[in-house]
Structures are given as structure tokens and as C-alpha cells.
Amino acid sequence: MTKLTPTPGQTVGPFYGYALPFNKDNELLAPGSPGSIRLQGTVYDGAGNTIPDAILEIWQPDSDGNIIQRTGSLVRDGYTFTGWGRGSVGNSGVYTFTTVNPGPTAPGAAAFISVAVFARGLMNRLFTRVYLPENEEALANDPLLSSLDPERRKTLIARRDADGGLTWDIRLQGGDETVFLDFQQDGSLETSVNADHPARENQA
């Protein structure tokens, strides 16, 4: 089958702030409504500084593990759970979503939320996942998690807060860098992270 070559991505830049955010973008359901939880975290750069201009999207099944195909994410009616939300970080690099705990999409599967990360200085969106911490057996059997070494695996598992919320930080670079995913079968599309540049050559 002939494959068309995909259009390249580009950075979201600094000025999406009046375009991408919308009213209740980060409230997949109303805060305080039954079953709602907070998903919150901080986005860091390679120097450990918080990034004040990242924007995230989450996409997840409902609490029963159903994949929702209902419209109304951009103009929320206050009742329909669409499974998708968008959240800009604030000045301190912190993002917040109000959502539900995702259910496993198959019996015994590990429950996770799919995440896309955009930022000024980030050339292309990054995909990752945030897993619920509870079901250890499911986590141990998860195809993605079990393919990672334990140190890296931790970066994809949220921490459960005392009040039922989830905390999950994102590190774009560094020793404890978050695991980001390449979904393309053809590795050449996305493996250009290890590009050459003078700084690296000088080190060599």
C-alpha cells in the first residue's frame, strides 16, 4: 500500500494563548461533581525549571472504561463527559484537569490517560501516558510499562493524593525525563531526537 508522507509538525510557539484555550477546557466534568478528581502536575525543562508556556491535552475513557465518541468538548453542556480536555500551565508551570479516574478498557488492563504535550521550544508534540497507581498486577502486565526499566517506568505512573486526586509531573529532559512515545512503525519519522549539533560534536 502506498503511504503518503506525513506533514511535519512545528512548535506551538508562544502565542496560542488566545486561540487554543477555551472556557472550561480543563474541566472534563464540573469540579466537585460526583466521581470527579483532580489531575495536577508541573512541567519542567532540562534545567529543572518550570515551564510557564506549555499546554497539554488529555484523552481518556470514562470510569467504566468506555471510549466516548460524543461531541461537545469545546462547548461543554455541563453533563456530557467527552473524555477530552485541554489545559494550559500557569505561571508556575502547573496544569490542572478535573476529570474521572479512567476505567480499564479491558478486564485486567491497566487504566491510563493518553497525553499530548505542546510547548514553545518543543518542535513537535510529544505523546505520553499517565497510569493510575492502584492496580499493581495490571501495571506489571502492561505491555508498555513492562518494556521499560523500573526507573523510567515510574515516570508514567501518577501519585494518588490523600484527597483522591492524582499528581503527575512532566519532565521534558534530564535524568528523570518522562517517557515519551513513538507510535510510528517507521522509526525514521520520530527518532530525530538524537540529531547532531555543534555542542554535541564539541563534547565528542
What x/- string results for residues 153 through 182 when contact with another protein is judged by CB under 8 A? Answer: -------------------xxx--xxxxxx
DSSP for 45-72, written as a single string? -TTSPBPTTEEEEEE---TTSPPP----
C-alpha cell at 39: 489531575
Residue 74's CB: how many other CB atoms inside 10 A?
Answer: 12
| Of residues 34 and 198, the one with the C-beta less far from another protein | 198
Q: Identify which range of 32-40, 98-106, 132-140, 160-168 contacts another protein by CB under 8 A.
A: 98-106
Mark the segment that binds another protein (CB under 8 A) among 31-39, 131-139, 160-168, 186-194.
Answer: 186-194
Q: Which of residues 4-63 bind another protein (CB under 8 A)?
A: 4-23, 45-47, 49, 51-53, 57, 59-61
Residue 162 C-beta: closest distance to another protein, Å: 27
Binding residues among 104-143 for another protein as defined by CB under 8 A? 105-106, 109, 112-114, 116, 118-127, 143
Q: Tell me how far apart the alpha carbons of residues 130 and 38 are, in angstroms, rounded to a whole number.
A: 13
- Write down the least CB distance from residue 31 to another protein, Å: 18
Question: Which is nearer to another protein, 32 or 188 (by Cβ)?
Answer: 188
Q: How many CB atoms lie within 10 A of CB 30?
A: 13
The amino acid that residue 75 corresponds to is: V
Instruction: Specify the stretch interacting with another protein by CB under 8 A; choose among 34-42, 102-110, 131-139, 161-169.
Output: 102-110
Q: Quick one: three-class SS letters along 136-160?
A: HHHHHHCCCHHHCCHHHHHHHECEE
Q: How many residues does the chain have?
A: 204
CA dist 76 and 23 (Å) reads: 8
Q: Which is nearer to another protein, 18 or 32 (CB)?
A: 18
| Phi then psi dihedrals of residue 9, to 5 deg | -80, 170
Of 33, 141, 146, 184, the one binding another protein (CB under 8 A) is 184
